[in-house]
Each structure stands twice: as structure tokens, then as C-alpha cells.
Structure 1
């Protein structure tokens, strides 16, 4: 078995999209016709704002991905990002009220709210860390995470953050030196506890 790390290629996209759909079980909670568009919006949004995107391969086939960046946004750019998300949410509330996509945009706004609540300024962000389930146990997530941390440190980054939720393996981040900073409950169906998720902001400072 040959394991390798390399920069993502356009030809990797379809395989990574399948990983996203499977890992977050899109087919169980997103209407059939929206599965791929929703997953593509999620994936392309994260990749578009990442300047370091690395794929781990097993015998030449993509088995996981890590995407993140050195934050060089100005305060006004971050302010505009929050405004853009809020505007899209307002549009959907009028055109697609209570749609699954409207709820997804609400989670994006919630993430930005968590960052504001932390009252912290970070120099980097980990936007996506994902390993194909059938390759778990090989330490691929750790390889991707360590590679990302090395990239940040080479670029003089002293701290970074990430968003996650209680449906993900957030214990991995705690085991690897991140601290839970802020959390908030979110209801995909208002008032229905069975649809509730807790969203977290984690951070790490490099010593």
C-alpha cells in the first residue's frame, strides 16, 4: 500500500465530492435533486477560500483532503463576508422559506457568529479535513493535519481556528492540541430536539 501527499488536482474533484456526500450523509437529509448542488456549494465554498489544499492518496487514488489558509483578509472583507451571508439568508427566507438550503446558510452565519463571540484574532484557518471512511485507521487524517500545521508555521502563522459540530469527530482536534472556544445549538427543524446539532469553534496557538 503506497500512501502519498500532494497538492489537489482538478481531476480529484469528483472523488472528493463523493467523499463529502458520503461523510455527511447528504442523501439522508437533502432532497434527491439537491444532493449534488448542495454538496458542491459546500465543497467549492471551502476550497475557494483555501490557499493550501492537499490530498492524501492510497495507491494513487484520493483518500482524503485537507484545505486551509493563511488569513490575509482585512477587517472590512470579513465584515462584507458576514453581510453577504446575511443577505443570502434574507433572500432565501423570502424565496425558499424553510428550505434545506436556507438552513445551511443559517449554519454559515452561525459559524461567523461563533468567531465573533470568541473575540479572538486568528492568523490561519483549517477549512476542511476529510478522510474516506474505508481508509480510516491508517493515520491519514494525522498526516494531513500535520502537513497543514507545518505549512502554517513555515508561513509564520501563530494561531488558527476551525469550525466543526457534534456529528463530526471533534475529539480528533482535541487530541491534536486544539481547544474548544465557543459552542452553540442549532435546530434544523425549529423546536425539534431530534434535529438539533451543536456547532463548535476550536482554536490552537503554536508555542
Structure 2
């Protein structure tokens, strides 16, 4: 079945949330299924509220993947008072009960970004990229990135990720790792070591080198 780029349907927001939970391994941090769903919804609402580019891929009527990006000078695609309130409420709860872990991750990503911005002037950020795990072997992530590149050719973008995600995917597609930092997330009695990563790429620019053949990420 052909994969087509279409406008993201609001009724598919819940599917995008599940893609995020699965692809970003949120279960590493949260054992409670109810809290896992709440966090997935918070993460999606947070990134959607920032997005100026919302790119969705569909296999027929089935959502196959979503990419969100925030570009300087472009208008936001979605604004919702309810979603804003949900994000603020969740952040209040997170800072109350998981302040150390939330602060550890946020501090690491901010340090990486500050170091990068000291010598770079990017045009924006890729804030979300997730694919439907049921649609395999279709190159969904590559298709979404290609569409973003068509729309924003020549722009320099960065993205945050970590080694809980399929980070070699970006290296195979010409992104350069410009920063990394090891942290340990403490979630109650659970300790989760993570490597926070920062990548950057000028869209449309040829890859300077191929990624190592030992890095074989699952195709997004």
C-alpha cells in the first residue's frame, strides 16, 4: 500500500500518542499504565502546541507516522486552551512528585542546547517524530523527513533525543551529533541511566559521511 502525506486528522491524535509511548519507551520510566497514558498525552499536547509544521503520513486510512517541527517566524498550527491547561497541570504534578528527575533531564538538554547555540544559529527544531510500529518496512520516518526538507529546504534544524530512542536513524539521514550528556533518571525506587543527545542538520545539504554500518536502527 502506498504511503501518502496528508493533513493530520484530529481523531488520530490518540494514535500519535500511542506511537510516542511505544517508540520513545516511556514505560522505562513509568510502570503504572494509567500514568503512562497521562504522560503520553502530556508529551503530545506539549509538542503539538509548539508546532508550526505538522506532517502526517497515511497508509490508506491508517495513520502511519507524524512529524512536528517548530520553525522561527512561522505560525503555530494548533492552539487549544484545554491542551494548554492540561500541560500546565501535568507539569505542576511532575514538578511536585518527580522534581529531581524532570529537572535532571531538562537541565541536561538545556546545557546541550546552550553550548550548541553559542556557535550556531538554527532556524528551528524537530520536536516530534514517531511512526506506527504496525506499518513496517515502509520508510515512514524517511518519508516524513523528506517532506519537511521539501518544505524547509536550506533551513538548519536541531533535535533532542536520547538512547532510549532509535537515535542512529538520524545519523543515517545526515544529522550530525553536536552534543551528548550522560544522566541518571530517578523515578521512585527505579534508576534509569540515559544519554541525552543533540543533533543538527541543514536540510537539503548532502551527507558529509555515511553512518557506521554497525549502527542498524529499525526503519521508522
| TM-score normalized by the length of structure 2 | 0.74
Cα distance change on mapping 1:109 and 1:136 into 2, 3 Å: farther
> Does 2:49 correspond to 1:48?
yes
For 1:167, the equivalent position in structure 2 comes to 164
Equivalences, count: 185
Instruction: Spell out the pairing of 1:13-162 with structure 2 (5 A cutoff).
Output: 13-30=13-30, 31-72=32-73, 95-96=96-97, 99=98, 103-104=101-102, 106-118=104-116, 119=118, 120-153=120-153, 157-162=154-159
Verify the 8 A CA contact 2:29 2:192 in the aligned structure 1: no
How far is 1:185 from its partner? 0.7
Cα distance change on mapping 1:90 and 1:123 into 2, 3 Å: same
How far is 1:37 from its partner? 1.5
SS across alignment from 1:43: helix
In the alignment, the residues of structure 1 paired with residue 67 and residue 167 of structure 2 have an alpha-carbon distance, to the nearest angstrom, of 15
Gaps of 5+ in 2: 75-89, 206-220
Gaps of 5+ in 1: 74-87
SS across alignment from 1:143: helix
Q: CA RMSD in A?
A: 2.7
SS across alignment from 1:115: helix
For 2:8, the equivalent position in structure 1 comes to 8
Verify the 8 A CA contact 1:124 1:152 in the aligned structure 2: no
Cα distance change on mapping 1:28 and 1:125 into 2, 3 Å: closer
In the alignment, the residues of structure 1 paired with residue 106 and residue 22 of structure 2 have an alpha-carbon distance, to the nearest angstrom, of 20
How far is 1:180 from its partner? 0.3
| TM-score normalized by the length of structure 1 | 0.78
> Does 2:202 correspond to 1:205?
yes
Verify the 8 A CA contact 1:163 1:202 in the aligned structure 2: yes
